[in-house]
Amino acid sequence: MNILLIGSGGREHALAWKIAGSPLVTKLWCTPGNAGIAQEAECVPLDVTDHAAVIAFCKTNAVDLVVVGPEVPLAAGIVDDLAAAGIKAFGPSKAAAQLEGSKGFTKDLCRANNIPTAAYERFNDPAAAKAYIRAQGAPIVIKADGLAAGKGVVVAMTLDEALAAIDMMFEGGFGGAGAQVVVEEFMQGEEASFFALCDGEHALALATAQDHKRVFDGDKGPNTGGMGAYSPAPVMTDEMCRRTMDEIIHPTLRAMAAKGMPFRGVLFAGLMITAQGPKLIEYNVRFGDPECQVLMLRMMSDIVPALLAAIDGQLKNFDLRWFPDPALTVVMAAKGYPGDYAKGTRIDGLDEAAKVEGVEIFHAGTASKDGHIVANGGRVLNVTASGKTVAEAQRRAYEAVDRIKWLDGFCRRDIGWQAVKREKATR
């Protein structure tokens, strides 16, 4: 098969690595790709917003399958246009991608279908939002309605913070994404990332993960796209996974099918595991980044037949096998991220780092320049390792991190702390 992968992050490097390992693949392209993906695939500079150009590339090169990594092309309807041109594409339609593209859409769907989530109201106007916040009190959570790269959320611990967040969003702090705001109940519990492969009707649960959204050790500082992750998430016991499928994933698939927007692709539920059980924080319509990196390391089965089964509505009798060993990934980011950072700084030592047992290094924002790897984004490398325990995977990942020479980079030093603490307690 000829496959085209769309994206340029660590998630796409992990997908490229896994797809390239499939005996079904003859040729793999990636657009735009990065310096790491270039080791697995031929990177081509297509304009992904120009769907006709992507279709023309697929026709010229006899592409059998397009795999879409990020949410932006999905929300722009690339899968609809590829399908209309007779090209198989993995990912949801534009209509189904609203589960991520509009928080209000998802909240309304939850309310109509009794899917457990935080109580909420939607607002177009700051005065009404503030009146509601004063009536509810703090802590309270304020969210921009549209896509904001995982950064459009303020968890306000005080009333003043909440009111300031309303002003910031309506004044355009998140651009167009903040023209509508969702105000919701603060939920207490442990977070987990839950992934289900969906074919419009059936869902297959994938491995679970936990990520670290805050930029600094101890889960401090501003939210980022994710600074590290590990799989499995110990809080997701078999019982919690079963409840998540029964109470959240299946009702969502039924509701989307009933609306005439069947969901095909990866449904990624951000969960809060509360005293009452799993509650939905938000949906994403793609693999998590960096969660995908640990999932790909743990997936034993070939991924390509699974992607095809999701597109073809054949997941009912499908299964995937996973390595039992946990995996952990540490994100190395450019100094300044998630704020301003420099590009073009040189990175050395990657080959030495990759020699550590159990380690795979996935590139995110990297480029090749004069025979060197240079930083080309905020999140730059994902140093990923498996081990018999999370503690062992963590030790291996940081041993590799310490071999990487990049003066302008930083990472958290405590990725996996919750799981390691649990392992110590049960030993």
Instruction: CB nearer to ligand GLY: give 7 or 251.
Output: 7
Stretch that binds ligand GLY, among 231-239, 284-292, 307-315, 360-368 (CB under 6 A): 284-292
Under the rule (CB under 6 A), what is the footprint of ligand AMP? 118, 141, 143, 150, 153, 155, 184-187, 191, 213, 223, 270, 281-282
Residue 11 Cβ vs ligand GLY, minimum distance, rounded to whole Å: 7
Q: Name the amino acid, one letter, at 392.
A: E
β-pair partners for 390: none
For residue 284, the partner it binds in ligand AMP, ligand GLY, none, with Cβ less than 5 to 8 A by kind, is ligand GLY
Residue 154 Cβ vs ligand AMP, minimum distance, rounded to whole Å: 8
Q: Which residue is closest to ligand GLY by CB? A: 226
Written as six digits, the tokens of 28 are 């793999």
Residue 216 Cβ vs ligand AMP, minimum distance, rounded to whole Å: 15
Written as six digits, the tokens of 171 are 């004044």
Distance, CA of 304 to CA of 43 (rounded, Å): 19
Which parts of 125-164 interact with ligand GLY (CB under 6 A)? Answer: 150
User: Distances from the Cα of 360 to the Cαs of 36, 177, 232, 366, in angstroms?
Assistant: 11, 35, 18, 16
Residue 118 Cβ vs ligand AMP, minimum distance, rounded to whole Å: 4
Which parts of 164-203 interact with ligand GLY (CB under 6 A)? Answer: none
For residue 187, the partner it binds in ligand GLY, ligand AMP, none, with Cβ less than 5 to 8 A by kind, is ligand AMP
- Please list, in sequence order, all residues whose beta carbon lies within 8 angstroms of the beta carbon of residue 232, skipping any fewer than 6 positions away: 207, 208, 209, 326
Choosing from 184, 211, 360, 408, the residue that interacts with ligand GLY (CB under 6 A) is 211
Choosing from 289, 360, 392, 408, the residue that interacts with ligand GLY (CB under 6 A) is 289
Instruction: CB nearer to ligand GLY: give 256 or 331.
Output: 331
Stretch that binds ligand GLY, among 108-116, 167-175, 282-290, 351-359 (CB under 6 A): 282-290
- Please list, in sequence order, all residues whose beta carbon lies within 8 angstroms of the beta carbon of residue 225, skipping any fewer than 6 positions away: 149, 150, 151, 289, 338, 378, 379
**Can you list the pairs that 367-371 forms with residues at least 24 positions away whose Cβ atoms lie under 8 Å?**
367/34, 367/35, 368/35, 368/38, 369/344
Three-class secondary structure of residue 122 per DSSP: strand
For residue 9, the partner it binds in ligand GLY, ligand AMP, none, with Cβ less than 5 to 8 A by kind, is none
12 forms part of the interface with ligand GLY (CB under 6 A): no
Instruction: CB nearer to ligand GLY: give 204 or 266.
Output: 266
Distance, CA of 263 to CA of 405 (rounded, Å): 43
CB 212 within 8 A of CB 275: no
Q: What is the DSSP string of 146-183?
A: S--TT--EEEESSHHHHHHHHHHHHTTTTGGGGSSEEE
Which residues make up the interface to ligand GLY (CB under 6 A)? 150, 211, 226, 284, 288-289, 291
